[in-house]
Amino acid sequence: MTYAISRRLLVAAAAGSALALSFATAASAEVSLTFLVDNAPATVSASEALAAAFHAKNPDITIEVEARAAGGEGDNIVKTRLATGEMTDVFMYNAGSLFHALNPQQNMLDLTDEPYQSDIMDTFKSVVSENGKVYGAPFQTAMGGGVFYNKKIYAELGLEVPKTWAEFMKNNEAIKAKGGVTPVIQTFKDTWTSQLFMLGDFYNVLQAVPDFPEKYTANQIKYATTPAALRGFEHQEEVFKAGYLNEDFGSASYDDGLRMVSKGEGAHYPMLTFAIGNLFENYKDYINDVGFFALPGDDATNDGLTAWMANGIYGYAQTEHPAEVKKFIAFVASKDGCDTQTKAVGAIGPYMTKSCTLPADVAPAVKDLVAYFADGGRNAPALEFLSPVKGPALEQITVEIGSGIRSPLDGAKLYDDDVRKQALQLGLPGWE
Amino acid sequence: MTTHRKKGTRRGLAAAYPSWFYLPAAIIFGVLFLFPTFASLFFSLTRWTLFQYSFIGLDNFRQFFSEPFLVWGLVNTLIYAVVTSGSKVVLGMLLGILLTSNVMARGLLRAVAFFPVLVSTIGVGITFTMLMHPTNGLINDVIATFGLKGPAWLTDPRFALLSVAFVDVWKGVGLATVIYIAGIVSIPPEYYEAAKMDGANALQRFWNVTLPLARPATVTVIILSLIGGLRSFDLIWAMTKGGPGFTTDVVASVIYKQYQAGFYGLSTAGNVVLFVLVAAIVVPLSVMLNRKEVEA
């Protein structure tokens, strides 16, 4: 049996400061909305540009951008604020499995009947919907999980973009033989960066086992006992055992990784393409040396990209200004909104609004990424958009596998145990 | 007989105040301490998403004890607590003796020894993370000048926990030293004079006078640093986040990660377990150490 906790009780307990604040805003004629975003520099710049552009068009509405931590800590902040009734009017958050964990039907404004929905790609709508209602609009761009590579090194050694894992390893061997350059960069100081080999391989898993997501959600298939799913873990061990990693892989940070691949200290860095935004911020002079390819599988004729959907922008159900909130969300999802973001942080991937376009002179890595979304390109959503089951300890497990502390099979078993907790917490059938 | 009279005096004192006088303190105590304690006991028996909860009995405790890294975390917690507590006792005692002697610039040295205690734990963690960087950290640079290659202090599973423990000791030993200084200074000088008259050498004086008479200080240091070690979290989180992988996970970081993942019921159950664990170790230890003190 499940009990709902009285929102009113929590709000009442949550201290008078909130009350004082809301009185203050209600008194003024102009509306001020707060927009909660994660604190990645690219996100903050894009959000502030959107706020400014929107205010220029609607002088009576001011948007204040509030930054929060990203990752697991950010999840906690968002959940706590929703639970205590202190959420901001508008907020950005992931689509897919994390979105479902926020209890959208209780916490978010229903955006199903907004006029711009016809301009939004169906694939995106499907990952911000619950029980046939749409709760989010796209913010920022879609991403790919794959490998950034240094084009100068590839040109120097006459290498070609690999279509299979064997080719990838052959390239690594050639880079190692030449010396002076790290073949594969890993950055375990920021543990989340360790998950790419596993998460980015999902396109290949899906090709081998098309019904993996449904069975996985229903507790009928496991990573440890599905050879295709185990491959991602095994790849990670292979690059470690072959000695392809940078010496300080355990202490290097995400930013170190970007520096190494852009300046040519390393050849390959497995990463999500949102990093192009950070490359723009920190290593703009080297942006043309960085290319991108999907994590290769075993089949050269069917190589494709594991894609991450854009983030969502959501309205808080308890906001005092739902009309203004919807107006702002409509702006973010419009072509104007896309162009404002492109101007602020550069073009870093395909937008999920159909009428949005990218400028012609995008960075090479973006060109490589967009090709997977264009006609003739192949991509599939990452598992987190097809199944709500995602274990919280994956990044620790992949650090262990990538550091040679744990075997891939053992790690996969551990991960299978880990996801069980998430499934139980969500109350999914078949896991009790 | 004496205890009876004591009780009587206390009751007499109690009557000296009207009951409303206790109300503010009682309300604060109830709202800030009693209510959360019982609420957490209750929520530890539920599956709780913050939005709703369902009662699942002892399942959280079952899950928590089958957490693959809980056992590892428990072992790490004990190692960490014993290593840091033991080192603080030994080093604090030695520093205390040094800083109560007629050493030059004694006041300054005392301040220097205490200084790390005042620095923010997170700041210390981040600083040492940089110093212990395997390829461009200062520590390994120094080792390299001797032609040796230093290990990856924080990312090699063999060293990581002890590296963090070392930093904990560096940061915490100042407090132990201050407690020892107070303990040693309060030993009457007559004992040393008597021992000297009996022909005791320095080691014998330390062993037979300082050590037993500084016992209250030792008890305080052990209890404080053991509790600190058992529930240590901030330094470990700042330096390794329990990693690489799970190798430096302690009970508190396992619990924290369950909160992060949104398993609120499960992590609350973990806190109940930690509470019981700390109490189970520290209460008997405290009783034992204090009883011996009385006997001595």
CATH number of this structure's domain A143-308+366-426, picked from the four choices 3.40.718.10, 3.40.190.10, 3.40.50.300, 3.40.1410.10:
3.40.190.10
Task: Name the residue facing B51 among A5, A73, A392 (closest C-beta).
Answer: A5
pLDDT at A23 over 60: no
- Domain match, B53 and B174 both: no
pLDDT at B293 over 70: no
B119 shares a domain with B187: yes
Domain-located, residue B174: yes
Q: Does B170 or A280 have the greater pLDDT score?
A: B170
The answer on pLDDT for B103 being more than 90 is no
Segment holding A91, helix H or strand E: strand A90-93
Q: What's the CATH code of the domain at B225? A: 1.10.3720.10
| Residue B136 domain flag | yes
3-state SS class at A247? coil
pLDDT at A61: 95
Nearest to A271 by CA among A359, A170, A345, A348: A348
**Contacting residues for A385 by C-beta, under 8 A, at least 6 apart:** A95, A96, A97, A127, A308, A309
- The alpha-carbon radius of gyration of chain A (Å, integer) is 22
* pLDDT over threshold 90, residue A30: no
Q: Kindly state whether residues B143 and B224 are assigned to the same domain.
A: yes
pLDDT of residue B292: 66
To which H or E segment does residue A149 belong?
strand A143-150
Around B188, how many Cα atoms within 13 Å sit in the side-chain half-sphere? 3
Which SS3 state, helix, strand or coil, does residue A403 take? coil
Which residues of B fall below an 8 Å CB-CB distance to A? Answer: 47, 49-55, 63, 68, 129, 133-136, 152, 154-157, 241-247, 257-263, 266
Given the cut 0.85, state whether the ipTM is greater than it: no
Query: Percent of chain A scored above 90 by pLDDT?
Result: 70
- Domain ranges in chain A are 7-142+311-361, 143-308+366-426
Classify residue B225: in a domain, yes or no.
yes
The answer to whether A357 touches A119, Cβ cutoff 8 Å, is no
Q: What is the pLDDT of residue A101?
A: 83
- Per-residue pLDDT for B106 more than 90? no
Q: Is residue B6 part of a domain?
A: no
Same structural domain for residues B48 and B139? Answer: no
**Percentage, residues of chain B above pLDDT 90:** 46
B48 belongs to a structural domain = yes
Q: pLDDT tens for residues A55-69?
A: 999 999 999 999 998
The predicted-structure confidence for A185-242, as pLDDT tens digits, reads as follows: 999 998 999 999 999 999 999 999 999 999 999 999 999 999 999 999 999 999 999 9
Note whether B154 contacts A250, CB cutoff 8 Å.
Answer: yes
What's the domain range around B53? 17-57
* B119 and B147 both lie in a single domain: yes
| Co-location of B39 and B88 in the same domain | no
Let me know whether B38 and B130 are in one domain: no
Model confidence pLDDT, tens digit, residues A239-252: 999 999 999 999 99
Relative orientation angle of helices B35-43 and B264-295, to the nearest 10 degrees: 120
Q: Quick one: B163 and B36 in the same domain?
A: no
| Confidence tier at A2 by pLDDT (50, 70, 90) | low
Same-domain status, B158 and B39: no
Gyration radius from chain B CA atoms: 24
- Chain B partners within 8 Å of A80 (Cβ): 50
Q: Searching chain B, which residue's CA lies closest to the CA of residue A411? A: B245
CA–CA separation, A104 vs A126, rounded Å? 14
Cα B15 to Cα B5, B6, B30, B163, B182, distances in angstroms: 16, 15, 22, 55, 38
**Tens-place pLDDT, residues A345-359:** 888 899 999 999 898
> What is the average per-residue pLDDT within A133-152?
95
| Residue A248 · residue B135 · CB < 8 Å | yes
Q: Quick check: is B8 in a domain?
A: no
Q: Which residue has the tokens 């002179």?
A: A361
Work out whether strand A2-4 and strand A266-272 pair parallel, antiparallel, or are unpaired: unpaired
Report how many domains make up chain B.
2
Render pLDDT for B65-82 as a digit per residue (tens, 0 to 9): 887 778 888 899 999 999
Same domain, B21 and B159: no
- Contact yes or no for B261 and A421 at CB 8 A: yes
Task: Give the architecture-level CATH label for domain A7-142+311-361.
Answer: 3-Layer(aba) Sandwich (3.40)
Query: Could you tell me which of A282, A242, A232 has the C-alpha nearest to residue A262?
Result: A282
Global pTM reads: 0.81
CA-based nearest residue in chain A for residue B254: A393
Q: Is B51 in Cβ contact with A396 (below 8 Å)?
A: no
pLDDT band of B21, cuts 50, 70, 90: confident
- Identify all chain A residues contacting B158, using CB atoms and an 8 Å cutoff: none
DSSP code, position A108:
B
Contact between A345 and A46 under an 8 Å Cβ cutoff? The reply is yes
User: Do B146 and B263 sit in the same domain of this protein?
Assistant: yes
